[in-house]
Amino acid sequence: MWKIILDALPSLLGGLALFIFGMNFMGEGIKKAAGERLRHILKILTTNPFVGMLMGMLVTAIIQSSAATTVMVVGFISAGLMTLHQAIGVILGAHIGTTITAWLVSIKITDYAFHILAIGFVIFFFFKNPRIKYIGQVLFGFGVLFAGLNIMSVAMKPLATSQEIQDLMISIGENRVLGLLIGALVTGIVQSSSAVIAVIQKLAITPTPEGLPLISLTAAIPLVLGSNIGTTVTAMLASIGARLNAKRAAFVHVITQAIGSILFLFFVPQTAWIIYQVMGTSNIPADSMDVAIANFHTLFNVVNTAIMLPLIPLLEKAVCAIYKGEDLMAESTLSNIDPEVFNTPSIAMNLAVNQLKQMSKIVRTMVAKARESIINKDMSAVEETIRLEDITDMLKREVVDFLSRILSQSLTPG
């Protein structure tokens, strides 16, 4: 067994590295191509958690990484661009959006990986137009991602011939807690649930000499559940040194995924039965196991999000109780401006004035922090000054845009 594993390990790790690189490279390309649109998509969130969930789902489906979306949200909260209440809805939506990768794996798009990679390479390296170049980067990363999957798939085939590995997969299926821990540990190390679930899918569709899936559905479910817990490590790492509400948002990510995964762990046979019914079979062949796992991943995240969405106020209170204190910059967004008042310019002007007053408070705090950094040679005060300056710059741009829109209306005499 160990010889087979050691022989397969270089290709497996190399393929995994290509998968993660491709996913990150593609995500960066999408962010560049979209420019400020992704930030504005998240900024148009209202206090309605359902809208936040939809936005989180959309952004994550685009960049194919719930961890990346959550890290983005943590950064927005730290910069004062988003409140904790808004962030929770986005994080819940990200859980659903991340399931797109498992579906891409299941539709056998890997057969065209090198075609996509080649087209992306030509566009990315030979076109000078930035917009076209970014599209090439997206295609190139997409191709690399699935080329990595192809390499992993080839590396895993010899594993199915080992009786010891088959026995190990059976033991994981019989011990749900072990499967959960393995999934969480591996994902915590790799920091990509999409990558780990893709590996599970590739293992599952590898047939044993008897023609059975190397990993059964009841063995795959705990591994996927563990992977959903392990992916929260990335957000927690991103929240280190961040503002209080950013830490709270990252911990919401942990709570929702951990509670949902542990609850589902008690109903593995029942969940597997539901997947069998959805697929219309009681005996899933090896070559359809990736679809079954994609079905489960989607089912879990949709049900878990549906349960957690009405509990957002409770989740907010819970994390505030765990992380006690006041986040002084929690209201540094355009909280005094309501886009609905454009039809009444006189009211809109008053709201703009109130927003400018709030900006003046932030500027006074920034000046005090700058003075503190000079007198005490305090680097944390320097960082806080820079952060407050970024917030002020953002608010200035938004207020100017708001005033420009007001001026496009017919103003009444004051």
- Between the two ends of the chain, the Cα-to-Cα distance in Å is 84
By the 8 A CB rule, do 406 and 352 touch?
A: yes
Nearest-angstrom CA–CA distance, 141 and 19: 9
Residue 297's SS3 state is helix
Cβ neighbours around 254 below 10 Å, total: 16
By the 8 A CB rule, do 93 and 114 touch?
A: no
Contacts 24+ apart (CB under 8 A), 271-279: 271/221, 271/296, 271/299, 271/300, 272/217, 272/218, 272/221, 272/296, 274/299, 275/217, 275/299, 276/217
| Domain residue ranges of the chain, discontinuous segments joined by + | 2-322, 339-407
Place of tokens 């809109």: 348
By the 8 A CB rule, do 277 and 196 touch?
A: no
DSSP string, 25-93: HHHHHHHHHHTTHHHHHHHT--S-HHHHHHHHHHHHHHHT-HHHHHHHHHHHHHTTSS-HHHHHHHHHH
Nearest-angstrom CA–CA distance, 173 and 170: 5
- State residue 245's pLDDT score: 77
The pTM is what? 0.67
Place of tokens 């705090």: 365
**In the numeric block, which tokens belong to residue 289?**
């196991």
- State residue 332's pLDDT score: 45
Would you put residue 280 in left (φ > 0), alpha (ψ -120 to 50) or beta?
Answer: left
Task: Give, in order, the Cα–Cα distances in Å from 382 to each of 194, 366, 369, 370.
Answer: 37, 10, 7, 6
- State residue 37's pLDDT score: 59
Number of separate helices (H) and strands (E) present in the chain: 19, 0
Residue at 296: amino acid letter: F
Cβ neighbours around 191 below 10 Å, total: 17
Nearest-angstrom CA–CA distance, 222 and 198: 15
User: 7-21 burial by CB neighbour count: b if 16+ within 10 A, else e?
Assistant: ebeebbeebbebbbe
Q: Extract the runs of DSSP E, i.e. beta strands, from 205-254.
A: none
- State residue 19's pLDDT score: 76
Place of tokens 């952060």: 387
> Angle, to 10 degrees, between the axis of helix 268-279 and the axis of helix 244-265?
80
Nearest-angstrom CA–CA distance, 348 and 341: 6
- Residue 340 makes CB contacts below 8 A (sequence gap 6+) with none
By the 8 A CB rule, do 349 and 406 touch?
A: yes
- Tens-digit pLDDT string for the chain (414 aa): 566 667 777 887 888 788 778 877 876 776 666 655 555 555 555 457 777 788 888 877 776 667 667 767 776 676 556 677 778 888 888 888 888 877 877 776 667 778 888 999 999 888 888 888 888 988 898 888 778 877 876 776 676 566 666 676 667 767 889 889 988 888 887 777 877 888 888 888 878 777 778 788 888 999 999 989 988 887 787 677 666 777 888 888 899 999 999 999 999 999 999 998 988 877 788 778 888 999 999 999 999 999 998 988 899 888 888 887 665 444 444 544 545 455 556 666 766 777 787 788 888 888 888 888 888 888 877 877 887 787 777 777 777 777 777 666 555 554
341-375, pLDDT tens digit by residue?
Answer: 555 566 667 667 777 877 888 888 888 888 888 88
